[in-house]
Amino acid sequence: MPLVGVRAKVESSDKWKEEFKTHGELFKSQGVSIAYMGATDNNSVLAIFETDDLDKFNEIFTSEETSKAMSNDGIEENSVEMFVITDQLVIM
């Protein structure tokens, strides 16, 4: 299952954590089955998504609906970076 990481700067990581959790239907429409969240003390946040449809994820990620959701979450403009996870290192 493809993994996508999204990193951004936010006004408040506490606000972002609460608002992020309200977007379940939007995430479902992207084929997301699980999302992991993390934040730093300086309001940098990271979400890692498992999706079963990378094309659909990308299509909706660039939509007006996602833009509105990010704005509502307090994400700073032009701070969003998306990474498609393509490699792994397995440590045994």
pLDDT digits (tens, 9 = 90+) for 46-57: 999 999 999 999
Q: Give the count of domains, the chain.
A: 1
Residue 90 lies in a domain: no
Edge-to-edge strands of the sheet including 32-39?
32-39, 44-51, 3-9, 81-85
Q: Within a 13 Å sphere around the CA of 89, how many CA atoms are in the beta-carbon half? A: 1
Residue 52 lies in a domain: yes
**pTM of the predicted protein model:** 0.91
Residue 91 lies in a domain: no
Structure confidence at residue 26 (pLDDT): 96
Residue 71 lies in a domain: yes
Contact 65, 25 (CB under 8 A): no
Residue 53 lies in a domain: yes
Residue 92 lies in a domain: no
Taking only the tens place, the pLDDT of each residue in 11-67 is: 999 999 999 999 999 999 999 999 999 999 999 999 999 999 999 999 999 999 999
Residue 55 lies in a domain: yes
Domain that holds residue 59: 3-85
Q: What is the CATH number of the domain that holds 22?
A: 3.30.70.100
3-state secondary structure of 80: coil
